[in-house]
Structure 1
Amino acid sequence: MLSAVRPLLPLLALLTLTPGVDALRLVLLSDFNGSYGSTTYPPALQKTVQCILNDWKPDLVISAGDLIAGQQASLSAKQVQAMWHSFEQKVNAPLRNAGIPFAFTLGNHDASLASDRVQAASYWKAHAPELQYADKTGFPFTYSFTVQNIFVAVLDASGPNVDAVQRRWLTAQLATPAARGAKFRLVMGHLPIAGVSQGKNRLGEVIRDAASLRQVMQQGNVTAYLHGHHAAYYPGRLAGLNVLSSGGIGGRDYVGFPGTARSVVTVLDVGQDSIQLTAYDADTGKVIPSASLPARIDGLNGPLTRITELR
């Protein structure tokens, strides 16, 4: 059990955590891959990992995908293995050695090609995070787990087709005693159900038949859908469902708001009735005020309207 108030990054002295926040803390870190085939990561990633280890000290890191730089057919199996080895050295092993599990969904750069999926499965089956799994039969592509009062279901949304099989699986997962007994229910997938960033606001970059998936989540009383891919941090509300768009290391402009790209990592502090969100610019270390985000984003399948917490 972690203390109610924890030390933050010294560079982030502008923020003081609100006393009384419950002990459970998560960090959301996604979309940090380099260019195709790269075995190195941007400097902001290593800075962020050090913040996680030394300052934020969460119970769990969650990621909405794009952990390596695959999705190029010309890359050999050896090259893809080298990228996973780099991820292991730079991200996963330091967290694991500190007792911080890394829970993830696979992104398009991790697992959209058949050959990449083989390598992703091989890596993760050898490095499965220590979680309280509710269903691990589809791991690492689909699985579910609990962490204290949170139930998390992970979809394979590395591409736009989250088919009927996955929707039935999700429906069943949300009906389990583990999900029903949780205070908060999160669903995580890589592609979004509505457009957030200008550069990705098109067909093929959002989930196909998103309304059907959204209906499954709403009927299952999901607290929020967490996604990556658009690399633009935005906590929003979409037709009755909370949607948390994870930022990336190297971001993209919001739809309709040029010049707004930035790298973002988010701390989630879980309280009795809500999950508080604190977003940081991963390059500068500064807190990003929620009021600085667009009040509304009119992307594909939208609109999304800004929220400040998940409940």
Structure 2
Amino acid sequence: MRRLFVLLLLLLCSPALGLRLVLLSDFNGSYGSTTYPAAVGRTVGRIVGEWKPDLVLSAGDLIAAQKASLGAAQLQAMWQGFEQNVRGPLQNAGIPFAFALGNHDASLALDRHEAAAYWKNHVPELHFVDRANFPFWYSFVAQNVFVAVLDATGPKVGAEQRAWLAAQLAAPVAQNARYRLVMGHLALAGISREKNKVGEVIAEATALRAVLERGNVTAYIHGHHAAYYAGRLGKLQILSSGGIGGRDYVGFAGTARSVVTVLDVQEGQIKLTAYDADTGAVIPNSSLPPRIDGLGGPVFRVESLK
């Protein structure tokens, strides 16, 4: 039975044309908010009506928790706001939502309890490989792409998760996929000025990078820094998700902007098209800094993910 399961997943991973993903992260409002900035509604509208992806990815901060004074009722109201404004419209359009939980979603004990309760009742329609620890960490396939999601809600991504990830990446379903993506909230290296400090990046980044590189990962996708950047960190490609609001790059004042990204999966590359979520305009890749020298860097700009 296990052999048959693996063969079925390999078929799902076989190369296919036209797979489109949208990356939308760090779009929560102020603490306790049950509503979202106007750019979120506009972006969800473009996702549903214009881009029409096969899947939406999010590297976290879906709601505005991480405050001890917020009780269970308020957390539930925030998740209901997320349901009404984001997941529900996508679900109605037949677009699954795959996510890594962020520090504002699941870093406190009560936050984690309520996040688990919400997602238990709203499991996305994904081709799961391992969902034993869903919604905190899990893996799935989408056509020719294997995705592993980490619990990087804080700086510690410990030995247990690294061992799980290594096993996932070594499995035939991952190694036979054309692309392997790993997604977590915190970054491996500093990208935005405000978050370029200890505690805002993964603490044992070198150990995690080693697992990612050995597993031949195409890219590590993260949020938290809310500064869109596709780059190379050593041998590993990274994709720093933009956010609604955005932050300045390390060393580049006045560069903050809201960003949502369309990823078109092709045979030789994953093409990236970044959009300013406030103006709707395409952001030229050449307008990004050629190099970012943040904590744990440097990171060098790339044109696409290969």
The normalised TM-score by structure 2 is: 0.95
The correspondence of residues 114-193 of structure 1 with structure 2, limited to 5 A, is 114-193=109-188
Structure 1 counterpart of 2:290, one-letter code? A
Report deviation, 1:181: 1.1
Q: Runs of 5+ in structure 1 lacking a partner?
A: 1-20
Give the percent of matched residue pairs that are identical in Structure 1 and Structure 2. 69
Question: Is the Cα–Cα contact under 8 Å of residues 22 and 269 in structure 1 kept in the other structure?
Answer: no
1:85-106 superposed Cα distances (whole Å, 9 cap, x missing partner) = 0000100011011110000000
Aligned to 2:300: 305
Report deviation, 1:22: 3.2
Match of 2:208 among 203, 210, 213: 213
The correspondence of residues 289-300 of structure 1 with structure 2, limited to 5 A, is 289-300=284-295
Aligned to 1:81: 76
Q: Runs of 5+ in structure 2 lacking a partner?
A: 1-15
Aligned to 1:25: 20
Structure 1 counterpart of 2:69, one-letter code? S
Match of 1:103 among 87, 93, 98: 98
What is the distance in 2 between the residues matched to 1:56 and 1:178? 28
Structure 1 SS opposite 2:255: coil
Aligned to 2:11: none
Aligned to 1:55: 50
What is the distance in 2 between the residues matched to 1:179 and 1:114? 32
Aligned to 1:230: 225
Match of 1:278 among 270, 273, 277: 273
Report deviation, 1:75: 0.3
RMSD (Å) for aligned C-alpha atoms: 0.7
Aligned to 2:34: 39
User: How many residues are treated as equivalent by the alignment?
Assistant: 291
Structure 2 SS opposite 1:199: coil
Report deviation, 1:199: 0.3
What is the distance in 2 between the residues matched to 1:201 and 1:234? 14
1:44-94 superposed Cα distances (whole Å, 9 cap, x missing partner) = 000000000000000000000000000000001000000000000100011
Report deviation, 1:168: 0.1
Aligned to 2:60: 65
Aligned to 1:196: 191
What is the distance in 2 between the residues matched to 1:55 and 1:281? 15
1:157-187 superposed Cα distances (whole Å, 9 cap, x missing partner) = 0000000000000000001111011000000
Structure 1 counterpart of 2:261, one-letter code? T
What is the distance in 1 between the residues matched to 2:109 and 2:297? 31
What is the distance in 1 between the residues matched to 2:73 and 2:83? 15
Structure 2 SS opposite 1:198: coil
What is the distance in 1 between the residues matched to 2:82 and 2:113? 16
Structure 2 SS opposite 1:135: strand
1:103-156 superposed Cα distances (whole Å, 9 cap, x missing partner) = 000000000001100000000010010000000000000000000000000000
What is the distance in 2 between the residues matched to 1:272 and 1:116? 40
The normalised TM-score by structure 1 is: 0.93
Question: Is the Cα–Cα contact under 8 Å of residues 27 and 265 in structure 1 kept in the other structure?
Answer: yes
1:237-269 superposed Cα distances (whole Å, 9 cap, x missing partner) = 000000000000000000000000000000000
Aligned to 1:9: none
